Chain A
């Protein structure tokens, strides 16, 4: 007489086992969703704010577009801002792909810019740019990379949550840099270092003369390509994405999760550090306290709207850069601070709407 009945294990929550076509459509919906939500949210709130100032939304939007994509100087400024945002966006996106939240891009950006300026000051004045620029880029990447590696190591070794560590480190790094410049390295009456002697990157000439746009944009685009290749074509990228998706499965697959975390944070920091080069090597040719100006935090928005995808990040950077420059263009009519409100609104809207819509889509699929 048997006293126990063998158990049929519970059917694991089954997938809807659809066709290839429906899977593709699902992915398309998901990829387009954040940008659409972002633009919609910006427009709705933008309309409200513009109306509260007694202006017409249509006129203001036209002014915004004219000031950004409608003239060469404006577009040059947009390109300049896109460069920095692309790099910080890539930094955040890469870390997120590994399941890590890098809020420290602001500090890593500043550290990278500082290291580039430092090297630029130390190098002799006649150094050929073919040597000086790459060296300064490496310095920037190292600066940001070291700052990024700290939270990575703390997480791998102690399980310390990287969100808090990166936020704290931001303040520490910025304070440190502030002290270095204010106490030792600044040009009198200013908060910036002397002009660098070597490693400067030329502005984009031609139609963009007068704007801050410079050749560092190539670095940003190259970085986007490199990150894409790293994530989707290399074995380390395979490991990294696995850790971000299902750490248990990555562990099963022989991936050392702690090592991936460290590497991801270091590379993420390095990318953000490169972002600093845009201002230091490409624009002002010196390091200035506070030059980061929120680009590190905006990188989070860029990564979010760009869905952590290198190509998406570039377009999202373009969006936020346009918004930022557009604020200046409409400043005579509506205060440019409106743009900052829109930035916050966009992030919030995307953060809320995307999971919500995803949930709605899933319920609709279930009822079908």
Chain B
């Protein structure tokens, strides 16, 4: 049982405002946490939780508002000051130097010395000692690059404890852990709490929130909207706070409309035992097999980071799979180049339009032929007339604003930028459309329009593979729903059987269909 909350909060943040460029990450954000408490900071992606905590840990200075720690006004302090005062943050993307050893990483910034030299023995002993008392098992002499993700996280936590952290902030710590590692982490956190420390946990996983936290603060769109005791609430209540009224809106606006005809028999896309590695994650896609038929939408639901990105990139031809096969209309394209796949009939709406989908400094017209530029040639030169005609057609069809096709893509709003990508990929000839987060950043009215187009394409006999982190979107569009978790399909089911309640357990790994 957690001890009763003492009167004076250990951390109090009020009226916090923070902007980056034209984005306001925090506005009227607040937080109050006491000693001996595990506090969950909850909200959707982009709600401002990380920003708020980075302000607390000293990485950012707020544009407005106050931060008090242990009763002292520390607004705008530096990371060095925060660490000295006992506030330490464990980031989602580890702040560890890969070429240095565990001991060196822990020692960095507060190096023990013997005269002018680094006291390497003492650094190692400090780590071993701390490892023992906290229950975090690490090997002090190994280089960080050789550690597993779970081990690296333990080092990160050790780092903050080493500096005498009394307030420990963890940013989405379980995103990279397996279930047994999660339980280990809970043990460590409970131990810290019972010792009087304060733990702030940034997360969006409600099952975890219910399991481990004592109190909850909910953030939405940059502000703090709710503050509750875990014992007094339910996940449904939390979810409502997190999402706000939009939940009801979404449920009305996106209603599943089945196709007039069922899909044809022969699949357009066959994926067999696909294994894909990427960026140091050895089996990001860990053996996936499925088919998509003409006239159907297969929707892949799941929290981002479970291999969806790597799966789409492998099918699109941007990553070479480690093993397995990708077959398009009977032809093996597993090793085909991107352009060949495009010519064979694959269209791809990439999930990151800023990095992949658009050239920000190119004009709208130039972007509308991206990926197809070899089809708009007249000899060596580009056929500017055809490109212009293509542009005016697509700008009109998708209502892209402003309508001047000579503007650089950078000058358009996010929603219109996405429309460029969607227009381009959908208005050409294709058999298979890969749609990854197709309505990301698009305003509500345009979302409906894009959803209609997707349904039209399906009714016209196209095959669509949809990946979306928005469960509502998947439920609105897909004829069959798959849930991806930890690199595998946890389940595949017809739309009629799917709902938020049914899919939820699969999405958090609580449930897995027997293979």
Contacts and interface: CB of A to CB of B under 8 A. Distances in A.
Verify whether A and B have any Cβ pair under 8 Å.
yes
B239 to A, nearest CB: 5
Interface in B360-406: 360-362, 366, 370-371, 373-374, 376-377, 380-382, 384, 402, 404
Contact of B472 (A6, A13, A242): A6
A52 interface: no
B440 interface: yes
Interface in A237-271: 238-239, 241-242, 245-246, 248-254, 256
Nearest to A362: B21
B21 A366 contact: yes
A233 to B, nearest CB: 5
A286 B230 CA distance: 87
A253 B373 contact: yes
B44 A5 contact: yes
A9 to B, nearest CB: 5
A23 B408 contact: yes
Contact of B359 (A18, A19, A246): A246
Contacts of A253: 338, 370-371, 373
Given A10-B45, A11-B46, A245 B353 contact: no
A245 B355 CA distance: 10
Nearest to B371: A253
Contact of A248 (B236, B355, B382): B355
Contacts of A12: 352-354, 414, 440-441
A256 B360 CA distance: 20
Given A12-B441, A14-B22, A251-B338, A5 B408 contact: no
**Interface range for A:** 35 or more
A236 interface: yes
A366 B356 contact: no
Nearest to A250: B359
A242 B355 CA distance: 12
Contact of A7 (B304, B373, B408): B304
A258 B464 CA distance: 31
B370 A14 contact: no
Interface in B5-22: 19-22
Contacts of B508: 3-4
A245 B370 CA distance: 13
A184 interface: no
B356 A248 contact: yes
A233 B382 contact: yes
Contacts of B318: 251-252
A17 interface: yes
B469 A11 contact: no
Contacts of A9: 45-46, 304, 437, 440-441, 469-470
B337 A236 contact: no
Nearest to A22: B411
A364 interface: no
B117 interface: no
B235 interface: yes
Interface stretch (B152-160, B200-208, B285-293): B200-208
A28 interface: no
B458 interface: no
A252 B371 contact: yes
Contacts of B440: 9, 12
Contacts of A18: 411
A242 B407 contact: no
Nearest to A246: B359
A213 B121 CA distance: 71
B234 A1 contact: yes
B359 A3 contact: no
A130 interface: no
Contacts of B235: 1-3
B20 A235 contact: no
B380 A2 contact: no
A244 to B, nearest CB: 10
Interface in B131-185: none
Interface string B332-359: 0000011100100000101011111111
Report, nearest first, the 4 A-B pairs whose CB atoms are least far apart. A254-B339, A10-B46, A6-B471, A3-B207
Interface of A: 1-20, 23, 229, 233-236, 238-239, 241-242, 245-246, 248-254, 256, 362, 366
Given A6-B470, A253-B373, 18 more contacts: A2-B500, A3-B206, A3-B508, A5-B206, A5-B242, A8-B46, A10-B46, A12-B440, A13-B21, A15-B417, A20-B407, A235-B374, A235-B377, A241-B362, A249-B357, A252-B350, A252-B371, A254-B371
14 contacts: A3-B207, A4-B508, A9-B45, A9-B304, A9-B440, A9-B441, A11-B23, A15-B22, A15-B412, A20-B407, A246-B359, A248-B355, A249-B355, A254-B337
